[in-house]
């Protein structure tokens, strides 16, 4: 089946689904739980958490919470909103453990989970400190193999795997996730590197990011979205995605954006992204001073900045 990427229509946020994403940096995990509940009540379509162990190459950094524990409680206290991580560094996870965590969360939420994935960063703070592989190439290999293992275990059928880094004897994981054939996978990657684009074409969505030497990760442009949408559509149509791990049909293109200082201006800003092929607009907080107060205020304002939807 040839998948088609399509953007939203004119209207509320140009027809894009609208999510918020928070760093998993709080001393009290209940703060992150309440934020997720508030996001659903305000009318957002998605609530996502970062997934870090340590957010510092010095070995210190902000207080960090486990996103899966937090999202399990959010799942139990919500009924509609999509939940997940953006992004989980699969190379530092045992994929069989991650398969169990995500399948359980999908069952708790009745099929509302998305797994965002990447090679992870910071390379030393999240990997090297613990003597985990920290080189880009090895982490990329572990990501690809880990995703193959996840898909196999999520199937609920007997599965085995033999790879360069990972090996699994025949095993069957049950219960399977609610979502079939499996939980959707969004791949994150920094443009213009071709490998993340090729990887994303095999799965269910892409979170393209630009890197600025002065500002760090920044929102890509509509032209960026249009370019990668064209590349991924072409690769999937040609079958370049290889082994068919994508679910077919629809495909998500995610705009990873800053928290909007003027939410009422978002529909005009987002319209060009929707036309370029975007399907989600996710506002994420930079971990700067007062970021927590800022994202709380943003959620309270609602998707369009006028309070919760009726």
99-148 pLDDT, tens per residue? Answer: 999 999 999 999 999 999 999 988 998 899 999 999 999 999 999 999 99
Separation of alpha carbons 68 and 98, rounded Å: 10
pLDDT score recorded for residue 249: 67
195: pLDDT strictly greater than 90? yes
pLDDT score recorded for residue 12: 66
167: pLDDT strictly greater than 60? yes
pLDDT score recorded for residue 8: 35
Residue 154 lies in a domain: yes
pLDDT score recorded for residue 243: 55
pLDDT score recorded for residue 11: 39
159: pLDDT strictly greater than 60? yes
pLDDT above 70 coverage of the chain, percent: 91
Residue 252 lies in a domain: yes
What is the SS3 assignment for 241?
coil
44: pLDDT strictly greater than 70? yes
pLDDT score recorded for residue 250: 86
Residue 6 lies in a domain: no
Confidence of residue 305 (pLDDT cuts 50, 70, 90): confident
pLDDT score recorded for residue 32: 98
293: pLDDT strictly greater than 90? yes
308: pLDDT strictly greater than 60? no
**What CATH number does the domain containing 198 carry?**
3.20.20.30
The structure tokens listed for 74 are: 């959010």
Residue 7 lies in a domain: no
Residue 169 lies in a domain: yes
Total domains present in the chain: 1
Residue 275 sits in which domain range? 12-301
Residue 3 lies in a domain: no
The structure tokens listed for 153 are: 């275990």
Beta bridge partners of 36: none
pLDDT score recorded for residue 4: 39
Residue 220 lies in a domain: yes
20: pLDDT strictly greater than 80? yes
Residue 16 lies in a domain: yes
Mean pLDDT of all residues belonging to the chain: 91
What is the SS3 assignment for 171?
strand
Q: Give the count of beta carbons closer than 10 Å to the beta carbon of residue 220.
A: 23
Burial class, 150, CB count within 10 angstroms (exposed 0-12 / middle 13-18 / buried 19+):
buried
pLDDT score recorded for residue 6: 40
Confidence of residue 2 (pLDDT cuts 50, 70, 90): very low
């Amino acid at each position: 089946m040839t998948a088609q990427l399509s953007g939203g229509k004119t209207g509320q946020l140009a027809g894009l689904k609208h999510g918020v994403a928070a760093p998993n940096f709080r001393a009290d995990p209940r703060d992150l739980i309440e934020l997720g509940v508030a996001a659903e009540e305000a009318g957002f379509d998605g609530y996502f958490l970062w997934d870090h162990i340590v957010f510092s190459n010095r070995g210190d950094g902000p207080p960090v919470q486990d996103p899966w524990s937090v999202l399990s409680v959010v799942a139990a206290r919500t009924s509609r909103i999509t939940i997940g991580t953006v992004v989980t560094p699969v190379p530092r996870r045992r994929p069989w453990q991650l398969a169990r965590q995500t399948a359980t969360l999908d069952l708790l939420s009745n099929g509302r989970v998305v797994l965002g994935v990447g090679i992870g960063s910071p390379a030393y703070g999240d990997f090297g400190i613990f003597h985990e592989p920290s080189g880009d190439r090895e982490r990329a290999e572990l990501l690809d193999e880990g995703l193959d293992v996840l898909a196999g275990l999520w199937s609920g059928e007997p599965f085995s795997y033999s790879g360069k880094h990972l090996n699994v004897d025949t095993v069957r994981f049950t219960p399977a996730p609610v979502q079939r054939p499996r939980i959707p996978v969004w791949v994150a990657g920094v443009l213009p590197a071709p490998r993340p684009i090729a990887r994303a074409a095999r799965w269910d969505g892409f979170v393209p990011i630009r890197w600025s030497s002065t500002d760090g990760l920044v929102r890509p442009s509509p032209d960026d979205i249009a370019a990668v949408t064209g590349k991924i559509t072409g690769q999937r149509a040609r079958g370049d995605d290889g082994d068919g791990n994508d679910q077919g049909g629809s495909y998500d293109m995610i705009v990873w954006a800053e928290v909007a200082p003027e939410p009422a201006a978002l529909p005009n800003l987002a319209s060009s992204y929707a036309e370029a092929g975007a399907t989600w607009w996710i506002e994420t907080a930079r971990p700067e001073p007062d970021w927590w107060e800022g994202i709380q205020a943003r959620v309270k304002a609602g998707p369009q900045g006028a309070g919760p939807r009726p």
